[in-house]
Structure 1
């Protein structure tokens, strides 16, 4: 077809013929010896080869993206095996578009010849002919760009790879901010700083949860991020600088950074471990005192079967024990009692916003134990253990949520209260792409959003590996929960989780305080009884 024209003329004709793919392959076959033209002649026309490369890559599929740390050795794996010996292999490179030959490997007169571009990459390139993979040693940020592999053997195959090389992030530095106004309660305000770079993010972590972060496109300015927390001794705080391939962390040493021994008045906040140790020691001391006093008291009131002791422990009217259960399960409300007297009367009451009823009545009449259950409300789902007073509820439902009160009557009445909350199983979250496209300047065209049917105390969360990075909950259960994954380069494993939230840190602390108050109240009652008995004996 093209016997009387040169390859340059052919390229010119094709460029004027709407870049037809068929003509391109005919030109390729012609210039590589398929139609009698010598293969070495193709290398004699660098301008022709450049034009051919440009024509073949005008459509260009999206390149595979790779990220690497500066100074490392990177191998661009093609995934191929057993490339034929007579195949011509070309690697091209360009910062925006691959247009410079860096590797040419072909067979000429039975001998394999491989030429490397030593002006640009010196001696840092290595080709694997068996797979076509390319290794770059001591890669630098200047090596970022598009790498294109061409394998020519009858047909023409192309692979593209876009490599982004990053410098290691700098070490973070934690310093103390300038003094605030006298009206501020914070006498020490840590600030974390780092030298900014491409795609660098600076973050504060409270234990393992990220609480704040900052990043800027202007890499000429340093990044500064204050730690906006009032009590710095309660948790462990860590500052991290990171880019897609490296990270650096610095842990906050508040004692070293902030001078708490200055002349100014300050408040000492003990850490989590110290709080737990103090609570445990306090509990041990209180239990020891209570045990001694109870031993003395029970020696006097053993004939009451131990119920008088229990009545003393619960006369302070403490907050009901809280229990949480999943709808459809079997729940046993354990009382912690053993050996309840066989002639004691046991009553269970149920109270909610819609009902206040007696649900169990067990007593001894003429030497026979009679136990009556409320079958209108709970049908045949209740069972009483007389030896401990524990109550079992089968197939529990959300309508069974409420306060359950146990009364044991034997001369005097002892009360125990339990607040039961029953939850429905949470729905399975669904991940979809957020509707609406982003701006063209944004490199990510997919924005995942996790959604779930909202219910009581339901929390929807995103996890990056095992770390929770965002969450949402709403009291209005009529609306679905929606939570977008705000990540620019989602290169980790992300999991969306819907769960029922029972109680937070504040609620736990409140319950510990209430428990301590209960222990003190019990101690006061027992101490009063002991002293009154001693006074009566001395009198």
Structure 2
């Protein structure tokens, strides 16, 4: 979906003020009179077009309100709503033929130039249980007096709200349905629902009030799919994960993933299926030489399976999302015996973790298996002294592919607490480029090494997420997020690759097409049906 263009200007001609508004087709727009209340005996009229066709009127003296939605040619039929107190006019489910000049005449006259941009009328979103989904306002940045209100199933009060004028951000997620799941983007007003469940399926709407002058209304239909298939297999045997397709159709884009690792992809463009068929079994030692992709159906065969976990299938054009929970068992052992062995191993590890050194340095931690509680025991003079250390290690590196000139958000998937300290670092030397201490009490960004990030970093003090705008090839590299909470530290790692125009010649044509399709797919996955 194109970004919503909002251009506002004022001109004064004989006391009449003009305002320009752009809205996406299918959305609603409210044109505000700026009157707190129509006075007694006043007559307020709304007119449309060059000929000034009367489309709505309020006569306070006669206590009468009317809409004439059958003029000039019936284009407004069942689309006009009039606020009897303020005289504000709402046009619902807008179409391109509603573009034009609107004038309100009363004690204060105003002219609006409305432009309706064509776009698909229905904004539908499909997502899997447990995933996150973002509902976008399409604003680039909220202005000083803007108010954003999100509702679910037409219910009041709103589930989330941003009021820039009052510097207020609130999430009314006290009910069990949304508790701890909502995240508001401070810059754009977009809403993210995390760890989504089937009870979050339904109708979402947002009212975007632009400085009390006009209001944009957008709506979303969210469908949460809960299909998860369970597969059991013995270690070393093969397992086939089915797409359910008999044949891949033109423009199908099929992706198989394990955790955040892409295992295989097929993109069928006319007859060039063989050229756009890839397995990435070399990307992870657990799957090396162990993946086979069916070119006709897209089903994935894992040979000599040895990795338990959740495998995910996405077919973009058809909006198909499926998960497979694969459990790998060791031959000759029941599941209960395996659990018992795991418990014994954990107990042994806990005993070994008791050390007698004053300080223990663990260098170059490479696996989350080193995470946990470490206990130091100091014996002397007939007494023992104990100290505990909590170590959190992340070996998950999130790859991010972006084209030069775009903006890229590095998202933090956890909820930021009041006393959390956030540090964003760049490069091998962990140069700090942004930090937040206690939310709004101290949020700053830095220009980075050699000033390369000057004016291009945005830190969300609510979520800790970092956005890099107008990204350049020299911005490629590792980014690290450090979250300090209650004496403990956790990390998230991102590896950003920025592709410039000159880099395209060194990439094989079919691989470049894969990168491009994957890049745009990742940008639009939350709003595609």
Instruction: Please report the TM-score for the alignment, with normalisation by the length of structure 1.
Output: 0.31
Structure with more relative contact order (C-alpha pairs < 8 Å, separation 6 or more): 2
Bigger share in strand: 2
Larger Rg computed on CA atoms:
1
Instruction: Please report the TM-score for the alignment, with normalisation by the length of structure 2.
Output: 0.32
